[in-house]
Chains A and B, each alone.
Chain A
Amino acid sequence: MKFTSRDVSALLADVEGTQDLVGHACGSSIMNGFAFTWNGTNWQGTYHPQLQMPKGEDSVSC
């Protein structure tokens, strides 16, 4: 095994949060029309409205 270790202090100064990298199988979730993804510090969401027709005697299903 070839092992190397290098100082990345200068690079880390540019980074906010930790562990920003995620796999795209379950690093995200969708709740109530929001798609969330983990940015290393917070869950960041974008709203995607999912509109549905109400179902009842005075509505139609299409």
Chain B
Amino acid sequence: MATWKRTRGFWVSVILAFAFFAVVEWLIASGTLNVFYVNTLFFMAINVMLAASLHLIIGITGQFSIGHAGFFAVGAYASAVMTMKLQLPFAVGVLTAGIAAMLAGLIIGVPSLRLKGDYLAIATLGFGEIVRIALLNIDYVGGASGMTVTHMTTWPWVFACLFVTILVIANFTNSTHGRACISIREDEIAADAMGINTTYYKVAAFAIGSFFAGIAGALYAHHFYIIQPSNFGFLKSFDILIFVVLGGLGSLSGAVVAAVLLTIVSTFLQNYPETRMIIYSIVLILVMLYRPTGLMGTKELSSLFKWRKAAQGGMNHGGKNTVA
């Protein structure tokens, strides 16, 4: 019974998440949801995955990384090469995307995570640009004109990837390993003195974060028919960073809510192309003025529902998707 009490919030979220999946699946199959909305929904899910994965690196572990679009790009191109050049199934592409991005994360993380604060930010920004320029100059993947990719991303794929991303990140955060990461964010010297292998956990968070950014890249590549290096510039990195900061550093639900809301705002504003960026920026400024700690602060949605046990980790983000 004790276990049931502890995991009640979790199972409710899982059921809500699957109910949401079934409803959307039915709406798509019956054609009620037109292509525009489906597109927005997929884009939203991809943004949520990116936000959640960067949340693990910045919000939980406190490592200020602003090259997240680099991992997104590595995933997108790795999966596209698998499916388009090597004719392998989509599943292989998705998995390769995650692993390739994770390897990139390890290669970047091991040397650069010695750096702190601003210096780490500059190093990761540099990485993002290196990836973009490299892709621009590799003819095998089409250089500046990019690669055309068959549409393979379907709602079950999007849902499954999103679900696993949120679940893994929430489970990781809500365990002793996540607490080790938070302790690094709070005070690295004290964490070290308490027996936490800080390098290991920083690299681990970085690797898990980049893995899911890579998966998001695979979904993205196989949804929009074409990928070009210009889609993965540092502005994309900043978009993801904004989700995390706007949602509230340290709150997974915050990052998810911010990603969903900003995707909606940005899609809606496509009707007003001249003023789009101005309005978008004003929205950001207003939120930061009135909620300087972000939409959720460090709180999780679950803590609003007094499920005390789940309060630290917020297992009910699966259900969060229902907002979408």
Do they bind each other?
no
Chain B residues within CB distance 8 Å of chain A: none
